[in-house]
Amino acid sequence: MGYEGDDASEGDSPTGVDDPVEGGASSEGRASLVEYGIEDRPPMGTSVVLGVQHYLTMVGANIAVPLILAGLMGMPEDVTAKFVGTFFVVSGVATLAQTTFGNRYPIVQGAPFSMLAPGIAIVAAAPAVAGLPDWQSKLLYLQGAIVVAALAEVAIGYLGVVGRLRSYISPVVVAPVVALIGLSLFSAPQIVDVNPGVAGAQQNWWLVGLTLGLIVLFSQYLGDRSRAFGLFPVILGIAGAWTVAAVLSVAGVYAPGSIGYVDLRSVASAEPVYAVYPFMWGMPRVQASFVVGMFAGVLASIIESFADYHAVARLSGVGAPSERRINHGIGMEGLMNVFAGMMGTGGSTSYSENIGAIGLTGVASRYVVQIGATVMLVVGFVGYFGTLIATIPDPIVGGLYIAMFGQIVAVGLSNLKYVDLDSSRNLFTIGLAVFAGMAVPSYMSAVGDATAFQQGLATVPVVGSVLATNAVGGTLYILGTTNMAVGGIVALFLDNTIEGTPEERGLADWARIAEGDEDFQSAYDRFLRGEGTSAESAD
């Protein structure tokens, strides 16, 4: 339901009437869990807090990626802090671009894990550049690979390659792929082992449980008693658990370096302002083998984003995305990956964490996400912010992940409401896709890195020399380590080769609620041709 009452700001489209909502659903038709729909605009103060909450859900990943890369590159501590801040600047710009000019879904953009594996391989193999520190040489080669691979993503998006596949993708395919987004992160180090390099799993389960318990308490048990609890369960849960951890750290219960310790002194000693700008580390370097490896990561990112678009549409109470919306979303992600490479980060893609937050809070407002992106863009230049965010202990992030990724799994499975679950072909396809999506990446992890995988492929008779190349073996490794890619490929193949009727596959029901291409208005339509509605133009 759209929210009605005093919180509607001046100029808002009133909810609960017959105003159109972009995406093919009216306010009356929204899912009951939606508190603020895509076109709704809460008051500014509320929007700022809600926007920051959206970003807090992805802070763990958006910090983890730069910290992993910085550690592998041997980046100095002062440079690392600026490196982390740059990721937030890129995230803010990319989110504003996607929500304004791209697919216009309320979805946060941030550092992708799908591009992290090729990034690690590039950092490990990058040659030295004369006159530059080793870490800077590695970063320049990483930048070059991202920029060139992203140009291919731009072409894939705006030429409509992904959108054309939409007619072959039914709920039987989308359900396991979206579910695998959540399932793939059940073993994230923030959940199971915050010190994976140390023998024996190590975790502060008390702090994990406290964070999860607070989020569940606010969102499920107290949400109907107070709008504050219903709207801000994530930020209240994180703040409550962080406060407890900080008090215990000051009291000496948590010693420096222990799991759960909050280093408040690091915030005081942080650099006040960072100068962040394109090519600040130097001109990117391009090596063909690195580009091929990064393109595999880009393909995995595209598959994940395709599933994300369906998940966010489902949670926002609107129809499944049209071909045009998908194309514009992927194209914009490519452009923002080019920008990310120019800025010297690890790329940009849609964030599943933000989608989980929509499920927990019912806040699907594009305006809220744009306000949050603006805040992150500004504070990304502030050293104190990045350092403060970095003090959130991993167990707190782990508790947050458990709540959100479980929600994403449920959203994926909810697509099965359109599918005939008495059909053996559907059950076989869904079950095999989910199992393969979990098993193949687990096998790849046991194999080791891309080099070890390619060495194994080299032993295959006749075609071994071809399979062992970076172009083939490297791409297969990256796709094979991505749960959504494996599950999606298996489901897509089976669903389109095993005989089944449109009603059986859920395509008939899905077609009735999906938006048409005419329902999506691109930036060109709205700004240059002036075809947008007044509500849309206000964005």
d(CA 51, CA 27): 21
DSSP type of residue 36: B
124-141 in b/e form (b: 16+ CB < 10 A) is ebbeeeeeeeebbbbbbb
How big is the chain, counted in residues?
Answer: 539
pLDDT tens digits, 281-304: 999 999 887 888 788 788 878 887
Do 60 and 190 meet the contact criterion of CB atoms below 8 Å apart? yes
Gyration radius of the chain's alpha carbons:
23
CB 338 within 8 A of CB 150: yes
Provide the residue type at 361 as one letter: T
**What's the CA gap between 275 and 272, in Å, rounded?**
10
Q: CB within 8 A of 25, min separation 6: which ones?
A: 317, 318, 319, 513
DSSP one-letter code for 441: H
**pTM of the complete model:** 0.76
Contact 318, 27 (CB under 8 A): no
Which pLDDT score is estimated for 517? Answer: 82
Per-residue pLDDT of the chain (539 residues; tens, 9 = 90+): 333 334 444 444 333 333 334 444 433 444 457 889 999 999 999 999 999 888 877 776 777 788 778 878 888 877 887 888 899 999 999 999 999 999 999 999 998 877 877 888 788 878 899 889 999 999 999 999 999 999 999 999 999 998 888 888 899 998 898 888 778 777 777 787 777 667 666 889 999 999 999 999 998 899 788 878 887 888 889 899 999 999 999 999 999 989 899 988 888 887 888 888 999 999 999 988 788 878 878 887 888 788 889 889 988 888 889 999 999 999 999 999 999 999 999 899 998 777 878 888 889 999 999 999 999 898 889 878 767 877 888 898 888 888 877 877 887 888 898 899 999 999 999 999 999 999 998 998 899 887 889 899 999 998 888 888 877 887 788 788 878 889 989 999 999 999 999 999 998 887 887 888 888 888 778 777 666 544 444 44
What was the pLDDT predicted at 16? 36
Whole-number Å distance between alpha carbons of 386 and 378? 11
